[in-house]
Structure 1
Amino acid sequence: MDTPPQPYRPETTILDLGDAFYDPVVAAHFPETHLRFRNDSAAAEVGLESLGGAEWIEHFGRFVPLPGSLEKPLALRYHGHQFRNYNPEIGDGRGFLFAQLRDRDDRLMDLATKGSGTTPWSRFGDGRLTLKGGMREVLATEMLEALGVPTSRSFSLIETGEELERNDEPSPTRSAVLVRLSHSHVRIGTFQRLAYLRDAENMTRLVGYVLRNLYDEEPGDNAPARLLDLVVGRTATLAASYMAAGFVHGVLNTDNINVTGESFDYGPWRWAPTWDPAFTAAYFDHAGLYAFGRQPEAIHWNVMQLAVALRAVSEAQPLIDILETFPERYQRAVSDAILWRLGVVPREPTRDRALVQTIEQALTRSETGIDRFFFDAFGGTAPEGAASDDLRAALVGYAPRKPRAHAYWSGVPCSMLIDEVEAIWSAIAERDDWGPFHAKIDAIRQMGEALAG
């Protein structure tokens, strides 16, 4: 039976918080608008798949308001720890919240931008996004979604016809504006800002907003502790999913962690070629603070900062007790995530953890590519190149969670290593050839179908 179309259901829920949380802004006017990517799958989930080409450009390139949603874009206010240094002078500097609406699961969703112009929080930036940066975010979100990572989704990418000067790529370079679909842009840094301002009233208001609108719960006794408990669970799952995917976000600052545990805001990301805990994504991360193997620690540290902020409206001990559950929740979540990617049905926690440890050891010793290993091992077979007697023994008794029937399994593993990303960009930059980009998205979605369920 076909799924009935999702009706368009606009919202303006963010306005319930009041103007202490955002600044109305005006979108930049771009000289050109060339549609480069349109996510019809995501659009169908929020009732926007029927938009024609011209309408799409009007809304997501010119930012004409969507009917019934926000009348003006809003640049959200927040603070954040950036590489563990507190910065009270940040906020939405090159993006804004454009619209809110409901998805097929009745979740409140945000359509927000990157590269849409300057705001009061731009500081010395131009408020723009390079086309390469937009292309990379589309590839990252498509790959993460296919690998089971909770992530924002790239909704639209439009090239805007400006030449940008950047220090980290050949300039002038092409410009773009990205729209992402996400289950909220409320960040840990949103709470930190209110703690910094000693604004307990708005802190209480924000706690209630998040519980009601993002977790579908009415605030009860010690609502801040309940919120922290929910965020700890979601972020432990996020950290685990990064590890199972072999993904390195690169900039896990508190303003880049939202309170629904959904990954977003992709800059210098990389996929680790092998299971190397020291592998980093950002060239400026000299100390390896956000290295592949340190991401669970980094996310745990960020959630601690949320607890510190919530001390403005809560006693300390309930928050401490909840924070101490993060390691155990992470261990459960990483077992589930790795066994999901391995394609086997979990058995019991102690044995599952032993299997995960054996997989990590086998990957580390053999230096087999992460994507190659999970492709060959899907369904519970120990690959010859990375196998050991311990791994074979650990896999005994694990049943496949689905057969290797999809055509994907007869080909080669889909990966997203930096050389391929650069080759896809070179085709665009040198020949305006978008064929490799779209072919890669098709291949990623094939992998997602093979892994799904």
Structure 2
Amino acid sequence: MPVSSAYRPDPRFFDLGPEFGDPVQAADFPMTVLRLRNDRAAAGVGLETLTDAEWLEHFGCFRPLPGQPGPIAMRYHGHQFRVYNPDIGDGRGFLAAQLREVPQAAPLREGGVRGTASPRLLDLGTKGSGQTPWSRHADGRLTLKGGVREALAAAMLESLDVPTCRILSLIETGEDLERHDEPSPTRSAVMVRLSHSHVRFGTFQRAAYFSRTDQIETLIEHARSLYHPQVAPGDAVGFMSAVVQASARLTAKWIAAGFVHGVLNTDNLNVTGESFDYGPWRFLPHYEPGFTAAYFDHQGLYAFARQPEAVFWNLTQLAGCLKPVVGEAGGEAGVAALTEALNGFGPAYIRELRAAFLARLGVKSLGEAADQRLLDCTLALAREQKEALRWEPIFFDWFGGFSSAARALGGPRRKSYQGETFDAFRFALMEHEPDRPERLEHPMFAAAEPEEMLIDEVESLWSAIDRDDDWGPLKDKLARLEAAGQAWDF
């Protein structure tokens, strides 16, 4: 059986018509060798029953899955480092399919109860699948190293409870690629990500660029009904508010995870607040507000601590696209309401940042003042001890709050846990009760070091593949990250 009985195709974006995407064909690759197959993610959409041969047919040669019309390259524009580019779109990828999440795989809702709403609509999007009308003069390909790096970024973020796409498949394709920013020729791959929407801010920007308010209205209703159904039909302001809140939550979780996306252009942010498209990403080695991920980000526009600013700027561009629709329906009062929804980002971000830090430290909320004090003290400790104390171990050592005092103070970083700044952190932590302290019984917390994702390890994992075609270290790392996610159990 090619797909399981739980498989539910629902290709909704395809119904929007030719003004939103172009039918395309995947490249005819010289070979297809399966390198990574994420069966846990596949089971969430009823694809785990595919044989390896069927997997290669669907995700290497891109024979459409049952009930899917065939791939389309999505149309969008975007600000790239705040310079508007009307000549982009899906240039080396496409939307291959849309399908419903298996209900049992749906994330837990508030209070640990699975939602009763319809299962989420998920996308299968590709990278490296060949040229499209939007490729310009590029080859439409993905390096194998780039695919490996995306798999690592997504797995690390998922383990830390950051809203992220998941890498479903990575297939080596047998071409030698020339790249100016890595040793060439280099190996090629095609990747498939499982993501909660590829409707980007830039999708709206394209419609606005051509003054197509009808298309903007279509996109609002499409995204509202599928991704923010709590918003009433026709409520563009409510839709904007929902995107703002989701984006604030995502940004706060990036910061708590010590993650730097690297390229926060408007075509790399979507309406569901789930991150995707990991190019020059990094995780912080230690607290450094100006830490950048992209070697070409010379001005530090998307540096670690500037990510909230970048996301807000991008949300401002989205609000500008919605303004004609809102103004036509509600006049000046409607535009004022849209501005208010946009300006809700700051308070939402601070609220979500407190919640994200509490979750990372494994403690319960004690109220706004005490939670903010713990956030401030954690950052102060990270700042003061940045030469000796890496970002991730702070949360690992003190997970569960003061229940971990003996573990932290007897561990390899004990010398960093002293002095006035640490005392303030300790007192702030002691105020908060542990949240489900039984999680500390997981074997991960008996180790001296947490799972991290620093650049030296990334390069080492790639080197084993590049030098010896040894995929064992990468697969072991991915398995450890899955176990870490189970240990954190956010």
Q: TM-score, normalised by structure 2?
A: 0.90
1:150 is matched with 163
1:34 is matched with 33
Specify the SS of the correspondent of 1:273. coil
1:47 is matched with 46
On the 8 A contact 1:235/1:261 being kept in 2, the answer is: yes
On the 8 A contact 1:152/1:181 being kept in 2, the answer is: yes
Query: Which amino acid in structure 1 is aligned with residue 31 of structure 2?
Result: E
Q: Which has the higher mean CA deviation after the structures are superposed, 12-21 or 32-41?
A: 12-21
Deviation at 1:218, TM superposition (A): 6.3
Specify the SS of the correspondent of 1:10. coil
On the 8 A contact 1:99/1:110 being kept in 2, the answer is: yes
Deviation at 1:6, TM superposition (A): 7.1
Deviation at 1:433, TM superposition (A): 0.5
2:248 is matched with 236
Deviation at 1:397, TM superposition (A): 2.6
Matches within 5 A, 1:94-109: 94-104=92-102, 105=106, 106-109=119-122
Q: Which has the higher mean CA deviation after the structures are superposed, 390-399 or 252-261?
A: 390-399
On the 8 A contact 2:94/2:125 being kept in 1, the answer is: yes
Taking a change above 3 Å as real, the CA distance of residues 6 and 322 of structure 1, as seen in their structure-2 partners, is farther
Deviation at 1:216, TM superposition (A): 2.4
CA distance in 2, matches of 1:244, 1:174: 34
On the 8 A contact 2:231/2:239 being kept in 1, the answer is: no
Specify the SS of the correspondent of 1:251. coil
Matches within 5 A, 1:30-179: 30-69=29-68, 71-104=69-102, 105=106, 106-179=119-192
Which residue of 415, 421, 424 maps to 2:461?
424
Specify the SS of the correspondent of 1:314. helix
Query: Which amino acid in structure 2 is aligned with residue 112 of structure 1?
Result: G
Counting matched residue pairs gives 447
CA distance in 2, matches of 1:360, 1:396: 16
Specify the SS of the correspondent of 2:313. helix
2:394 is matched with 373
CA distance in 2, matches of 1:258, 1:337: 21
Query: Which amino acid in structure 1 is aligned with residue 50 of structure 2?
Result: L
Per-residue CA deviation, residues 359-418 of structure 1 (Å, 9 max, x unaligned), is 001101011101111111111136442451111111123122123110111112100000
1:333 and 2:328 matched = no
Matches within 5 A, 1:262-411: 262-315=274-327, 316-367=335-386, 368-381=389-402, 383=408, 384=414, 385-387=416-418, 388-402=422-436, 403=438, 404-411=440-447
Query: Which amino acid in structure 1 is aligned with residue 25 of structure 2?
Result: V
Per-residue CA deviation, residues 6-27 of structure 1 (Å, 9 max, x unaligned), is 7000112112311100000010
2:489 is matched with 452
Deviation at 1:217, TM superposition (A): 4.2
1:436 is matched with 473
CA distance in 2, matches of 1:395, 1:341: 12
Query: Which amino acid in structure 2 is aligned with residue 10 of structure 1?
Result: P
Query: Which amino acid in structure 2 is aligned with residue 349 of structure 1?
Result: E
Query: Which amino acid in structure 1 is aligned with residue 256 of structure 2?
Result: A
Specify the SS of the correspondent of 2:188. strand
Deviation at 1:213, TM superposition (A): 1.2
Q: Which has the higher mean CA deviation after the structures are superposed, 416-425 or 391-400?
A: 391-400
Specify the SS of the correspondent of 2:324. coil
Taking a change above 3 Å as real, the CA distance of residues 81 and 152 of structure 1, as seen in their structure-2 partners, is same
On the 8 A contact 2:221/2:233 being kept in 1, the answer is: no
Deviation at 1:344, TM superposition (A): 0.9
Query: Which amino acid in structure 2 is aligned with residue 230 of structure 1?
Result: A
Taking a change above 3 Å as real, the CA distance of residues 144 and 6 of structure 1, as seen in their structure-2 partners, is farther
Q: Which has the higher mean CA deviation after the structures are superposed, 362-371 or 11-20?
A: 11-20
Query: Which amino acid in structure 2 is aligned with residue 407 of structure 1?
Result: P
Deviation at 1:425, TM superposition (A): 0.5
Taking a change above 3 Å as real, the CA distance of residues 228 and 30 of structure 1, as seen in their structure-2 partners, is same
On the 8 A contact 1:6/1:44 being kept in 2, the answer is: no
CA distance in 1, matches of 2:233, 2:100: 25
Deviation at 1:220, TM superposition (A): 3.2
Deviation at 1:40, TM superposition (A): 0.5
1:191 is matched with 204
CA distance in 2, matches of 1:147, 1:355: 19
CA distance in 2, matches of 1:146, 1:233: 22
Superposition misfits of 4+ residues, deviation over 2 angstroms:
216-221, 381-384
Unaligned runs of 5+ residues in structure 2 are 107-118, 328-334, 409-413
Taking a change above 3 Å as real, the CA distance of residues 6 and 287 of structure 1, as seen in their structure-2 partners, is farther
CA distance in 2, matches of 1:90, 1:217: 32
Deviation at 1:445, TM superposition (A): 1.1
RMSD: 1.2
Query: Which amino acid in structure 2 is aligned with residue 85 of structure 1?
Result: V
Query: Which amino acid in structure 2 is aligned with residue 184 of structure 1?
Result: S
